């Protein structure tokens, strides 16, 4: 492809994230449908050109577990990245639509992400840096692939300059300022797998809608002690956007968010006889200081799966395995040999 913006016809918006928006487009000369990611980059022309050059590495990233790349171009003041369109969308959207995802499918997600991460690191020395359900995509052929990995150092820098580069999928060592390694991605995978299997973000009692921290100061969380008297352990956390400015991305969801928020608040109060309010920074502290979440309740999930997720969530990165090592875990081997029909599953919604 020689991609030109004028050959792309907008179809509809697929979603919005921290760095920009994603649209479904048609490449008119070939009839190919693509996902076009539009990232607003506030940087000098030289930096923008550098980003564009770095993005070309994506042409060489060929794996069935990685979203294909069609090309990128500048459309001032934006950078557009065109990639394979995945018609079933991202896994966060899927579980929010159909509820908790059955564990054999979650196993296939784990397998795909580990294969994708291993490929990126072994072949290209790329660390993903942003594993989370919205960056794991599925299509009606039953393929599961990862997207939005950190190929371009300059792009990472530019986005970091613009946004709070923090997410609730971040590993304890990253929160404490250590360098990214492949093991940081493994932590994020562990959190994501629990989220998919439970149908909600592990640190929250209901939805994970608000789990990106771009609006840091706009969020508060309700904190409830796990057991009476043990103020340190947190049974349930829920983020509630308290004062979303109408211009922000979630404005269209404001009404439903408001009802959800009120429900959660009253729930917290009735459960705890008075909720405590916790800031996002306190949540990050919680991730650093408290035991990692687990696939619970005990007995609901098979021991192999629980053991695998526990291994992803070792708080000490030295104890945590790499994606390649985790591919040898029993749950993953079993999943690989079980020939789970993801295609049939993906065609039920």
Residues annotated in the binding site, as ranges? 37
- Candidates 135-143, 253-261, 275-283, 317-325: pick the segment binding Mg ion (CB under 5 A): 135-143
Residue appearing with tokens 């929250």:
204
Count the site residues for ligand ADP by CB under 6 A.
Answer: 21
Should residue 135 be labelled a site residue for ligand ADP when binding is judged by CB under 6 A? Answer: yes
Should residue 66 be labelled a site residue for ligand ADP when binding is judged by CB under 6 A? Answer: no
Looking at beta carbons, which residue is closest to ligand ADP?
17
Strand order of the β-sheet with 276-278 is 234-241, 219-225, 276-278
Residues 130, 148, 185, 215: which is the catalytic one?
Answer: 130
Pick the closer one to ligand ADP by CB: 135 or 224.
135
Closest of 219, 322, 206 to residue 264, by C-alpha: 206
- Candidates 81-89, 238-246, 274-282, 293-301: pick the segment binding ligand ADP (CB under 6 A): 81-89
Should residue 150 be labelled a site residue for ligand ADP when binding is judged by CB under 6 A? Answer: no
Do 120 and 323 touch, CB atoms closer than 8 A?
no
DSSP 8-state symbol, 328: T
> Could you give phi then psi for residue 275, rounded to 5 degrees?
-80, 160
Should residue 93 be labelled a site residue for ligand ADP when binding is judged by CB under 6 A? Answer: yes
Residue appearing with tokens 């190929």:
151
Q: What count of Cα atoms within 13 Å lies in the side-chain half-sphere of residue 274?
A: 1
DSSP 202-256: TTSSS--TT-B-TTGGGEEEEEEESSTT-TTSEEEEEEEESS--TTSGGGGGHHH
Pick the closer one to ligand ADP by CB: 162 or 285.
162
Should residue 16 be labelled a site residue for ligand ADP when binding is judged by CB under 6 A? Answer: yes
Do 75 and 82 touch, CB atoms closer than 8 A?
no
Pick the closer one to ligand ADP by CB: 167 or 240.
167
Residue 177's region, left for phi above 0, alpha for psi from -120 to 50, else beta, is left
Should residue 147 be labelled a site residue for ligand ADP when binding is judged by CB under 6 A? Answer: yes
Should residue 192 be labelled a site residue for Mg ion when binding is judged by CB under 5 A? Answer: no
Beta bridge partner(s), residue 240 = 220
How many Å from the N-terminal Cα to the C-terminal Cα in the chain? 32
Should residue 131 be labelled a site residue for ligand ADP when binding is judged by CB under 6 A? Answer: no
Contacted by 225, from Mg ion, ligand ADP, none: CB < 5 to 8 Å by type: none
Should residue 82 be labelled a site residue for ligand ADP when binding is judged by CB under 6 A? Answer: no
Query: Nearest approach, Cβ of 216 to ligand ADP (angstroms)?
Result: 15
Q: How far apart are CA 327 and CA 125, in angstroms?
A: 18
Q: How far apart are CA 245 and CA 215, in angstroms?
A: 9
Q: How far is CA 209 from CA 67, 134, 165, 240, in A?
A: 24, 11, 17, 9
Should residue 188 be labelled a site residue for ligand ADP when binding is judged by CB under 6 A? Answer: no
Pick the closer one to ligand ADP by CB: 250 or 294.
250
Query: Nearest approach, Cβ of 79 to ligand ADP (angstroms)?
Result: 13
Pick the closer one to ligand ADP by CB: 86 or 144.
86
Query: Nearest approach, Cβ of 30 to ligand ADP (angstroms)?
Result: 17
Collapsing DSSP states into helix, strand and coil, what is residue 85?
Answer: coil
What is the per-residue binding string for Mg ion in 91-130, x denoting contact by CB under 5 A? Answer: ----------------------------------------
Residue 130 annotated among the catalytic residues of the structure = yes
Among 55, 67, 72, 346, binds ligand ADP (CB under 6 A): 67
Catalytic residues: 130
Residues making contact with ligand ADP (CB under 6 A): 14-18, 20, 22, 35, 67, 83-86, 89-90, 93, 134-135, 137, 147-148
């Amino acid at each position: 492809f020689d991609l030109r913006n004028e050959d792309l016809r907008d179809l509809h918006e697929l979603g919005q994230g921290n760095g920009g928006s994603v649209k479904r487009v048609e490449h008119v000369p070939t009839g190919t449908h693509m996902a076009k990611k539009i990232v607003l980059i506030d940087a000098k022309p030289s930096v923008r050109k550098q980003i564009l050059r770095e993005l070309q590495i994506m042409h060489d990233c060929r794996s069935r577990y990685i979203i294909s790349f069609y090309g990128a171009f500048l459309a001032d003041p934006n950078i557009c990245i065109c990639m394979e369109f995945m018609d079933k969308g991202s896994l966060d959207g899927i579980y929010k639509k159909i509820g908790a995802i059955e564990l054999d499918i979650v196993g296939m997600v784990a397998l795909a992400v580990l294969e994708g991460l291993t490929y990126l690191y072994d072949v290209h020395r790329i660390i993903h840096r942003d594993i989370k359900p919205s960056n794991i995509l599925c299509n009606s052929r039953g393929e599961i692939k990862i997207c939005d990995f950190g190929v371009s150092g300059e792009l990472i820098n530019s986005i970091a300059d613009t946004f709070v580069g923090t997410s609730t999928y971040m590993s304890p060592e990253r929160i404490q300022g250590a360098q990214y390694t492949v093991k940081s991605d493994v932590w994020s995978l562990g959190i994501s797998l629990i989220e998919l299997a439970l149908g909600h973000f592990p640190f929250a009692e209901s939805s994970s809608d608000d789990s990106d921290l771009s609006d840091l100061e706009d969020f508060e969380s309700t904190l409830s002690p796990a057991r009476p008297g043990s103020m340190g352990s947190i049974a349930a956390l829920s983020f509630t956007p308290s004062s979303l400015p109408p211009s922000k991305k979630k404005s269209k969801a404001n009404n439903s968010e408001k009802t959800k928020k009120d429900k959660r608040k009253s729930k917290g109060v009735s459960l705890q006889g008075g909720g405590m309010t916790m800031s996002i920074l306190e949540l990050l502290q919680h991730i650093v200081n408290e035991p990692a979440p687990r696939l619970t309740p005990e007995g609901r999930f098979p021991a192999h799966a629980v053991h695998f997720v526990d291994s992803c969530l070792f708080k000490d990165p030295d104890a945590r395995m790499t994606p390649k090592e985790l591919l040898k875990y029993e749950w993953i081997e079993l999943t690989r040999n079980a020939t789970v029909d993801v295609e049939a599953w993906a065609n039920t919604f």
